[in-house]
Structure formats: C-alpha cells, structure tokens
C-alpha cells in the first residue's frame, strides 16, 4: 500500500511529549499574535474596512504573483516567489498530514494513501527543492552586501545598536533552510531503512527522498538509517516548533502582517492626505503620541521587513540628510513596542540613554521630518504597502502646530496666508506676467472659456518661469484653445502647504480656490504645475470640489491627436525626460510627455530612474522653501549627474514642471556642468516644433 | 506677572499704496492691513517671558480695520486676554496713547510692551507717551527683556551699534525693537479656533483730547528725479566721465 506511518516506530510516550510541546508552542504563538492584535486595537480608526472582498482578492493576487516584490528587482522577486510557494505548499502538506492523522483517522478516512499519496509525495518534493533553492538564492544575495540591506545609520551610528536585526535575519533564513533540509533527510532515512524490509519502489515518487536514501546507502550508513531518522526527526520537530513560537516575535511575522497590510493599503495613500476632522482638531492637528496613530499605521510599522528599497530610493537619504523612510518606520516600531511593553526578540537598541519626550521632534527628529521631499518614492517602492508619507505629514502637522520649523519656511507660510502665494508678493501682481503678451488673456471670472488655466505660484511669480508661461499662453492661443485665467483670484493650490503639514492654511487655500472656481465660467482645468494638478485632482474632491483637470502635456497630446497641434518641424535633439514626481509617480502620467516628444521627432533616452521610479528634484513637500545647504549633494545635482551619465550625445534635459525648471537650471550651474546639459521645458520644444 | 501688549494694524507695504483725494492720507478703501512688525516682536517677547516664567499676557488694540484678526492671531499665539478699545479715531500717536492709557489705567500691569515704531506713525513715541500718561518709567528701542523678581533687565540699542543694559523696577513701559527670537508662526487652524472660541472685550476709550501732537498737512509720493544716465565704456572711461559730471555739478 502506498502510504507512510506518521509517528514511525515512536513509543506512545514520545508521541505524547510531541503533542504537549506542539500545543505549548502553538500557545506561545497565539499569545504573541494576541499581543500584536491588542496593540493594533489601541490604534485610532482608519476606515479601511470598505470593499473587504475586493481588498482581499487584490492582496491575494499581489501575493500570488509577487508583483510588488518583483518590481524592479526580478532576482529578489523570483527567489522570494520560490520560498513563498515552497513554504505554502509544504505548509499545506503538513496541514493535510495533521488533518489526516489527527482528525480524519477517527472518522475512518485515510487520505494519504494510494495515488493521492504518490501525487502528494512528488508535489511536496518538488516544492521543497524550490524552497531550498530560493533560500540559497537569498543567502547568495545577502553575501553580496547590497546597499539596501545595509542597516548602518549615518544619523546615529554611534548611539544605535542594530545587531539584533542582523541576528534576526540570520535566524530566520537558517531556520527555514534547516527545516527544508532536515525534512528531506528524514524522508531519505526513512526510505533507506524501510526499503530494506519492504517493497518501497512506489517511493520513487519522492525523488529527492529516494536520492538521499541512495546517498545513505552509498555512504554505508544503511544500518544507521533508523537512528538517523529518529534523531533528525526530533531535530526537525524541535526547530519547526521553535519556528512557530518565533513567528510573532520576529521578522517572520511579516508572513501574516504583510498580507494584511497589503489588503488594508489605501490606493490613494500619499496622493490624497487624510483630512483632520472637526472632532480630531479639538484634540490635535497632528501626531504627538502613540495613541494618535491609526491601527493601519501601527500595522505599517510591523510590516517592514527592512528590505531597504525605500532607503535607497529616497532622495533625502541620497542627499545625506538624516531621513531614511525605512529607519523612520523602524524607529516608530521600536517606540510603539517599547511604549506597549511588547518588544520583539530582536529589536534595535538605543544606547544613548536618552529617552525622547515627544514623538514629532523627539522619537523622530525635526531634521528627519523636515528632510522629506514628499516625492512618494518610498511608498511606491514598498512591496508591502507601507504608507510612510502619511506618517511623516502627520508628524509635521504637530511640528507646525508647535511652530518648530525654520524661519524661511515660517515666512513662506505666513506669505501664503497673507497673499496667497509663496513669493510674498501682492496677489494683484499674480498676472503681471501677462502684461508682456500682445493679447489679453480672458478673465474667466468675467468671460466664459472652455478651459481654466490654473497657473500656479512659480509660473506666475518666478522671473525664470514667467517667460515659459508666456510661451504656453501664446501656443495655446495659436492652437485655438479657448482658455482663461483667474488673475488675482487664484491662490497657491496648496499641494505643498498640505505636505508641509499646515493643514489649516491648506483648507483655507482650498476654500479660496474653490470659491474662485465657483464664480468662474469654464468646463475643464489645465495646469503646467504637477503639484497643483495633484491636489486639485486628488484632494479637492474631499472638500467637494470635483474638477476635470489636465496637465498641459496631456492636453497638448490630446490636441495633437485631434490634429489641432501640428508639428511642422522635426527636432533632432537627443534628450532625456525627467518625470515630475507629482505627474509620474503620483498620477501615473508617464506616457503623454513621451508621446509628445516622439511626435516632435526628438530622440528620447530615459534615465535609469524614470517614470514611476523617477528621482525627485528635491523641491517638493515644501523643501523648496527650506535651506538645502547642509546636504552632501542636492538631489537635483545627483539627477543632473544621472542624466550626464547617459552619454551618447544626450544633452537636453526636458522638464514639465515649473519647479523642476528652476531646480535643474540651478543644479546644472551648482554642479559645474554648465554647457554640458541644457534644461528646457517641454513647451520650448513644442514651440520650436510648431515652427511658428 | 501681567504684561500688556498694545498692538496695531498698519498698511501692508507689499501692496501698491495710493494717496487719498484730499492728499492727507493713504486711500484706505482698498488698503490691505497687517500687524505692525514691531508689535509682533513686542508680542513675541511677551510670550517668551510667559513661556519662561509664566505671565498673563493681554493684547490690546484700538478699534480699526481688520483689528479682530490681529487680536485673534495674538490669542492663537498664546495671549490670554484680548481687549479692543472702542469709540476712538486716533489721528496721532498722542491720541492713541491717551486712549490706550485711559483703558490701561483700569487694568493691572507690570510691563507694557509695544512696538518701538510703526510704518504709519510719525514720531515713534507710543511707548514714551504711554509711560507719560500712565506715570511710569519707559525704555525704548529694546532688543531683549529678562525678568527676575520684581525687576527687569533690558538691552537698549543706540546708534552706531552701541548697546546698553538697563535694569528697571516694575511697572515699566517698553518700546520693543526686536524680540530675542523670530516671532512665532501661528498655524491657520489655531487662528480659526481662536476666532471661534476667544473673546474680545470691548472697553470705551473715554476722553482722548490731547494738547500736543502733529497733523498731516500734505501726503505725496516721492518725486521722481529727471532720470538716470547710464555711463558706458571701460572702467577708466567711466571714472573719467563720472569725474567730469561731478565737476560740472560743482562738487569739488
């Protein structure tokens, strides 16, 4: 009969011991799980229980395909896929054994026999091999010491002990590997011993076990096979049971937490920041203590596997500031666990002996929080749905509430409050740039127009950008687009004010702009500013403002396809294109600018980091209103170097964002690359290609 | 310690200013007002003292354009009491000081701190006059106040970068040039909350007749000169040209 005995030759006492130990370890597991559950229950409501079934399905699909893990790291994605599916199949196999032996048996049912047993055997053997292969691949990867797995902290290397993290990584990897390998040895030893006394030829369906049995024979250990089986079996049992107990106290917990975190992820995280309810405003605008976090944010902290993708993607980290999104989340985790008295077995330890009194500005330093450019690279890179940016903005809201910010930022916020623009100029000067045009742009507050052009602060007030705004005005007029502007009725759209954490000012700006929109007469909006684009598109709806809005690249492409925008001259530049964070990553608009460039005939060579993976210029999230002199190297300079490294005659750096134009024209100079790279707004190419 | 901070709104110089038809004042119809910068420093210094050692801070202002906004902002920053002095159209600092002093006379105070000057006052005498009407000593052009047990130590700035340290017993009136720290930013949400929750007491000014002071006879924009001449050429040529012009103008 094709089957096997579960507790092979074991006396009853040993079997009883096994069950006692097994149940106690399951108890340890359940206690650890409960501790975490209790921790999450203390979080505020997060409103993530809508569309539960759809959420579950989506998370399941993501997990099954490993789409988020394989993104931009095929090797790690594949290795994890092998480990994951190996583990799942072996786990299901074990569950079937337990079910068969501990339950169904008493109903007179025996699943693991005959053809089912043979199929079961071969299936588990194959996945067991894949499992071990995946683990070896990961081990090899770690041995190469990739930068994202370096836990060293530039900001507090002397006062933080992270050896526990490394130990945890090692234990996790070795436990899994030993479980896999000993499993096969047990199988081989059993086959080697039993085939001496009975016909086990059907066990060829366990090809790995069979091969190991052959190995045992060749090594002359056939006589000891029974002993090898017994000791390995117990060794295997001990480490498996230890593993079960270890899960909720270690990084192994990511197996459960990360599925939940993906399931409860907000697709609009970072793109649409949370509002602060009237109720909540009475307590606090931002986060001052652990109780302020929602349960999803507490889950975020535990979800981190320290894969380091956010750490290497972060422009602030690249620029040498103290911010690392990974370390921010890990510090919050340690803080949450310490506060709750539920430390994991392998935590980082602060050796400074100082106990931070506050959360924002203490547990997470002010410098760290103010370093964020809110480019969203961390959120986009995270394979497990962590929403770093929301944490950061919530803590910034507290800093703003307490006035903990640099003078320049204070002045800018005061200016925006007083004049509606970050330049501190009179609101009446907002449309001064139109004076140099030889035609009058419609005032949509007085005349009807198809499009409202939301100009934005930089395009209105910055002397470097005003010329570009005039080009946009002329080109759209040439094409015959019926548009108007709000003149002095427009205010800063508030995207970056909100990301600075000045929520009250943001709300005021939204109200002012929406009131201006209400009075004006237009069908749709377009803007050259990706920042305004994002907040009007994604965040104004939360305030009841639903508008159809285009980024000018999208509108230009539409007009080109409709035959209204004609390119009469083929441009033979070799260019690279910088995706603005708020266009590409935030809103997935990566094709329109590229199609436009293609239509104009230029040769586009993308930088290694492009589209959703674009590298921030460093201006976002209010950083453009803060001091950047303390950085090792500005993100904009790193980006220009990235563009220069393309070589092959690429000498044009095309942007589609007013702030980018300002940042990169500066960066070319400050990095000493003047003359090597020309920064141009896409509108300049459009003008040239139109040949007017 | 009771600190009273008289504040006022002044025309915002970021905006273009127009003179009224009579030619005696700015055209105030479209004028945008903002808190006098020096008063902001006076308030900040008061709040710093409050943060350091506890104090009761009263922000007080004469009724006028947008004054509620300024008072609420002061409350949002940390002022404990808001007072608006009604029934007065102060034409000069003298009248304003008299009105303010009338009200302050009925209040308890150890320190009266106001801005050393404002863009629209003509003499920069607010603190001095307040002290006069209240019959207390004053120190003006102050750049930092330290308080300890019934007396204060202040720094007063003189021309040419000289600084003197004064010790004064309370009560005293101070004209603040600059606070020790940049005036704090007050988040909009806090101002909104203050506008909803804080209370502005209104107190009548009483008799504000004064025997001194000045009145504006004529207000006009600076007259533009005859225009500029750009001097071109090499450095030597330019220098020679400048010398020639200076000689022509009779400057030797």
The DSSP H or E segment spanning A94 is helix A74-102
Q: How many inter-chain contacts (A to B, CB under 8 Å) are there?
A: 48
Q: Is residue B172 part of a domain?
A: yes
A503 in contact with B, Cβ within 8 Å: yes
Mean pLDDT of chain B: 91
Say what the pLDDT of residue A447 is: 96
Say what the pLDDT of residue B25 is: 87
Q: Which of B16, B34, B189 sits opposite A418 (nearest CB)?
A: B34
Residues B132-140, mean pLDDT to the nearest whole number: 95
Of all residues in chain B, the one with the smallest CA distance to A427 is B15
The model's confidence at residue A637, banded by pLDDT at 50, 70 and 90, is very high
Say what the pLDDT of residue A661 is: 97
A102 burial level (CB within 10 Å; 0-12, 13-18, 19+):
exposed
pTM: 0.93
Closest-CA distance of chain B to residue A426, Å = 6
Question: Mind listing the pLDDT tens digit for each residue in A285-297?
Answer: 999 999 999 999 9
Judge: A403–B184 Cβ closer than 8 Å, yes or no: yes
Residues A660-679, mean pLDDT to the nearest whole number: 96
Cα–Cα distances (Å) from B196 to A48, A141, A464, A489, B85, in that order, read 33, 60, 42, 26, 20
A401 in contact with B, Cβ within 8 Å: yes
Judge: B187–A285 Cβ closer than 8 Å, yes or no: yes
CA torsion sign for A655, A658, A659, A662 is: positive
Q: Which of B14, B185, B192 sits opposite A405 (nearest CB)?
A: B185
Note whether A263-402 and A565-690 share their fold: no
Q: Which of B14, B34, B192 sits opposite A425 (nearest CB)?
A: B14
Domain residue spans in chain A?
A: 57-149, 166-249, 263-402, 418-560, 565-690
Count of the separate structural domains present in chain B: 1
Question: Mind listing the pLDDT tens digit for each residue in A599-623?
Answer: 999 999 999 999 999 999 999 999 9
Fold that domain A565-690 belongs to in CATH: Rossmann fold (3.40.50)
Say what the pLDDT of residue A222 is: 93
Contact residues on chain A for B178, CB-CB shorter than 8 A: none
Of all residues in chain A, the one with the smallest CA distance to B197 is A282
User: Does the domain spanning A263-402 belong to CATH 1.10.1060.10?
Assistant: yes
pLDDT over 70, % of chain A: 100
Residues B134-144, mean pLDDT to the nearest whole number: 94
Closest-CA distance of chain B to residue A178, Å = 57
Say what the pLDDT of residue B84 is: 97
Q: Is residue B187 part of a domain?
A: yes
B150: CATH:
3.40.50.620
Of all residues in chain A, the one with the smallest CA distance to B184 is A403
Of all residues in chain A, the one with the smallest CA distance to B181 is A407
Closest-CA distance of chain A to residue B248, Å = 39
Judge: A410–B182 Cβ closer than 8 Å, yes or no: yes
A545 in contact with B, Cβ within 8 Å: no
Check whether B227 has a pLDDT greater than 80. Answer: no
Question: Mind listing the pLDDT tens digit for each residue in A113-172?
Answer: 999 999 999 999 999 999 999 999 999 999 999 999 999 987 777 789 999 999 999 999
Contact residues on chain A for B16, CB-CB shorter than 8 A: 426, 428
Question: In a 3-state reduction of DSSP, which class is residue B166?
Answer: strand
Query: Which tops the pLDDT comparison, A460 or B217?
Result: A460
Closest-CA distance of chain A to residue B185, Å = 6
Say what the pLDDT of residue B252 is: 64
Residues A515-526, mean pLDDT to the nearest whole number: 97
What is the distance between the alpha carbons of residues A376 and B83, in angstroms, rounded to a whole number?
Answer: 47
Q: Which of B15, B188, B193 sits opposite A417 (nearest CB)?
A: B188
Q: Which of A281, A414, A418 sits opposite B189 (nearest CB)?
A: A281
Residues A428-446, mean pLDDT to the nearest whole number: 96
Contact residues on chain A for B190, CB-CB shorter than 8 A: 401, 504
Judge: B189–A417 Cβ closer than 8 Å, yes or no: no
Closest-CA distance of chain B to residue A374, Å = 20
A505 in contact with B, Cβ within 8 Å: yes
Judge: B187–A502 Cβ closer than 8 Å, yes or no: yes
Domain residues for the domain of B145 are 2-204
Closest-CA distance of chain B to residue A401, Å = 6
A346-A347-A351-A353 Cα dihedral, nearest 10 degrees: -130
Residues in CB range of A300: below 8 A, 6 or more apart? A261, A329, A385, A386, A387, A388, A391
Say what the pLDDT of residue B228 is: 80
Residues B30-49, mean pLDDT to the nearest whole number: 94
Of all residues in chain B, the one with the smallest CA distance to A500 is B187
Judge: A505–B187 Cβ closer than 8 Å, yes or no: yes
- Residues of chain B with a CB closer than 8 angstroms to some CB in chain A: 12, 14-16, 34, 182, 184-193
Closest-CA distance of chain B to residue A420, Å = 13
Residues B1-15, mean pLDDT to the nearest whole number: 94
Is the CB of residue B184 less than 8 Å from the CB of residue B76?
no
What is the distance between the alpha carbons of residues A438 and A459, in angstroms, rounded to a whole number?
Answer: 18
The model's confidence at residue B229, banded by pLDDT at 50, 70 and 90, is confident
Tokens 């797995």: give the residue.
Answer: A149
Of all residues in chain B, the one with the smallest CA distance to A503 is B189
**Residues paired with A38 in a beta bridge:** none
Check whether A352 has a pLDDT greater than 90. Answer: no
Of all residues in chain B, the one with the smallest CA distance to A407 is B182
The length of chain A in residues reads 692
What is the distance between the alpha carbons of residues A331 and A391, in angstroms, rounded to a whole number?
Answer: 12
Question: Mind listing the pLDDT tens digit for each residue in B153-208?
Answer: 999 999 888 999 999 999 999 999 999 999 999 999 999 999 999 999 999 998 88
Tokens for A486, please give them: 């709000």
Residues in CB range of A633: below 8 A, 6 or more apart? A318, A319, A320
Q: Is residue B127 part of a domain?
A: yes
What is the distance between the alpha carbons of residues A376 and A388, in angstroms, rounded to a whole number?
Answer: 8
Judge: A502–B188 Cβ closer than 8 Å, yes or no: yes
A270 burial level (CB within 10 Å; 0-12, 13-18, 19+):
buried
Contact residues on chain A for B15, CB-CB shorter than 8 A: 426, 428
Check whether B90 has a pLDDT greater than 90. Answer: no
**Spatial CA neighbour of A662 closest among A381, A459, A526:** A459
Contact residues on chain A for B191, CB-CB shorter than 8 A: 504
What is the distance between the alpha carbons of residues A325 and A315, in angstroms, rounded to a whole number?
Answer: 10
The model's confidence at residue A243, banded by pLDDT at 50, 70 and 90, is very high
ipTM of the complex: 0.85
Question: In a 3-state reduction of DSSP, which class is residue A14?
Answer: helix
Contact residues on chain B for A410, CB-CB shorter than 8 A: 182, 184-185
Check whether B91 has a pLDDT greater than 90. Answer: no
Contact residues on chain B for A505, CB-CB shorter than 8 A: 187-188
A498 upstream amide cis, omega within 30 of 0: no
The model's confidence at residue A266, banded by pLDDT at 50, 70 and 90, is very high
The model's confidence at residue B122, banded by pLDDT at 50, 70 and 90, is confident
Of all residues in chain A, the one with the smallest CA distance to B30 is A428
What is the distance between the alpha carbons of residues A647 and A495, in angstroms, rounded to a whole number?
Answer: 35
Judge: A424–B188 Cβ closer than 8 Å, yes or no: no
Is the CB of residue A192 less than 8 Å from the CB of residue A216?
yes
Judge: B182–A407 Cβ closer than 8 Å, yes or no: yes
Check whether A1 has a pLDDT greater than 80. Answer: no
């Amino acid at each position: 009969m094709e089957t096997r005995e579960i507790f092979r030759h074991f006396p009853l006492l040993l079997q009883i011991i096994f069950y006692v130990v097994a149940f106690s370890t399951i108890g340890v597991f359940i206690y650890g799980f409960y501790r975490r559950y209790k921790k999450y229950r203390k979080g505020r409501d997060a409103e993530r229980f809508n569309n539960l079934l759809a959420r579950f399905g989506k998370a399941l699909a993501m997990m099954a395909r490993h789409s988020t893990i394989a993104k931009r790291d095929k090797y790690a994605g594949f290795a994890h896929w092998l480990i994951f599916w190996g583990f799942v199949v072996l786990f299901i196999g074990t569950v079937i054994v337990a079910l068969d032996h501990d339950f169904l048996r008493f109903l007179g049912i025996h699943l693991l026999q005959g053809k089912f047993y043979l199929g079961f055997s071969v299936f588990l053997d194959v996945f067991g091999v894949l499992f071990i292969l995946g683990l070896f691949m990961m081990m090899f990867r770690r041995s190469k010491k990739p930068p994202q797995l370096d836990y060293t902290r530039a900001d507090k290397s002397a006062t933080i002990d992270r050896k526990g993290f490394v130990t945890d990584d090692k234990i996790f990897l070795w436990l899994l590997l030993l479980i896999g390998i000993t499993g096969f040895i047990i199988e081989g030893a059993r086959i080697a011993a039993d085939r001496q006394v009975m016909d086990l030829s059907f066990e060829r369906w366990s090809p790995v076990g069979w091969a190991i049995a052959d190995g045992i024979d060749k090594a002359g250990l056939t006589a000891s096979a029974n002993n090898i089986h017994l000791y390995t079996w117990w060794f295997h049992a001990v480490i498996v049971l230890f593993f079960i107990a270890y899960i909720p106290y270690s990084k192994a917990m990511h197996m459960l937490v990360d599925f939940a975190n993906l399931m409860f992820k907000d697709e609009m995280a970072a793109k649409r920041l949370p509002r602060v309810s009237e109720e909540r405003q009475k307590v606090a605008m931002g986060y001052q203590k652990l109780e302020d976090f929602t349960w999803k944010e507490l889950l975020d902290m535990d979800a981190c596997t320290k894969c380091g993708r956010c750490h290497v993607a972060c422009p602030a980290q690249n620029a040498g500031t103290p911010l690392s999104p990974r370390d921010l989340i890990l510090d919050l985790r340690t803080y949450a666990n310490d506060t709750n008295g539920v430390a994991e077995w392998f935590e980082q330890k602060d050796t400074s002996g100082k106990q931070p009194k506050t959360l924002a500005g203490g547990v997470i330093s002010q410098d760290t929080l103010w370093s964020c450019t809110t480019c969203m690279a961390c959120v986009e890179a995270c394979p497990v749905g962590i929403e770093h940016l929301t944490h950061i903005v919530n803590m910034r809201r507290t800093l703003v509430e307490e006035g903990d910010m640099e003078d320049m930022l204070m002045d800018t916020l005061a200016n925006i409050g007083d004049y509606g623009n970050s330049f501190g100029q009179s609101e009446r000067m907002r449309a001064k740039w139109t004076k140099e045009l030889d035609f009058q742009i419609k005032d949509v507050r007085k005349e009807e127009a198809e499009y409202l052009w939301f100009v934005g602060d930089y395009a209105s007030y910055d002397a470097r950008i005003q010329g570009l705004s005039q080009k946009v005005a002329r080109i759209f007029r040439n094409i015959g687009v019926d548009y108007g502007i709000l003149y002095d009725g427009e205010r800063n759209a508030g995207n970056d004010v909100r990301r600075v954490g000045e929520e009250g000012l943001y709300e005021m700006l939204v109200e002012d702009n929406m009131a201006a929109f209400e009075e004006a007469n237009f069908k749709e909006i377009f803007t050259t500013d990706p920042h305004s684009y994002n907040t009007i598109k994604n965040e104004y709806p939360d305030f009841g403002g639903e508008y159809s809005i285009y980024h000018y690249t999208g509108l230009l492409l539409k007009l080109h396809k409709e035959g209204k925008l004609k390119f009469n001259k083929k441009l033979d530049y070799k260019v690279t294109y910088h995706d603005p964070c708020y266009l590409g990553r935030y809103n997935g608009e990566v094709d329109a600018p590229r199609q436009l460039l293609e239509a104009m005939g230029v040769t586009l060579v993308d930088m290694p980091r492009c589209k959703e993976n674009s590298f921030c210029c460093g201006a976002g999230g209010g950083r453009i209103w803060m001091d950047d002199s303390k950085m090792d190297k500005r993100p904009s300079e790193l980006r220009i170097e990235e563009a220069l490294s393309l070589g092959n005659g690429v000498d044009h750096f095309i942007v589609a964002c007013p702030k980018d134009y300002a940042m990169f024209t500066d960066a070319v100079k400050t990095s000493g690359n003047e003359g090597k790279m020309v920064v141009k707004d896409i509108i300049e190419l459009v003008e040239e290609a139109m040949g007017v | 310690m009771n600190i009273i901070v008289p504040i006022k709104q002044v025309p915002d110089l970021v905006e273009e200013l127009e003179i009224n038809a009579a030619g005696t004042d700015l055209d105030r119809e479209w004028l945008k007002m903002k808190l006098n910068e020096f008063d902001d420093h006076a308030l900040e210094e008061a709040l710093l003292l409050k943060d350091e050692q506890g104090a009761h801070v009263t922000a007080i202002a004469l009724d006028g354009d947008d004054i509620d906004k300024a008072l609420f902002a002061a409350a949002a920053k940390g002022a404990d009491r808001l007072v608006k002095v009604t029934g007065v159209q102060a034409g000069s600092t003298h009248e304003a000081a008299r009105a303010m002093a009338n009200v302050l006379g009925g209040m308890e105070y150890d320190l009266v701190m106001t801005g050393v000057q404002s863009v629209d006052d003509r003499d920069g005498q607010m603190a001095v006059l307040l002290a006069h009407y209240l019959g207390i000593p004053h120190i003006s052009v102050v750049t930092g106040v330290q308080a300890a047990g019934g007396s204060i130590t202040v720094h007063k700035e003189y021309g040419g970068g000289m600084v003197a340290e004064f010790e004064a017993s309370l009560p005293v009136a101070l004209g603040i040039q600059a606070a020790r720290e940049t005036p704090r930013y007050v988040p909009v949400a806090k101002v909104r909350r203050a506008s909803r929750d804080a209370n502005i007491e209104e107190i009548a000014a009483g008799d504000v007749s004064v025997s001194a002071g000045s009145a504006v006879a004529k207000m006009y924009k600076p007259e533009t000169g005859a225009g500029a001449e750009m001097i071109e050429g090499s450095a030597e040529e330019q220098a020679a040209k400048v010398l020639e012009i200076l000689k022509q103008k009779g400057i030797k």
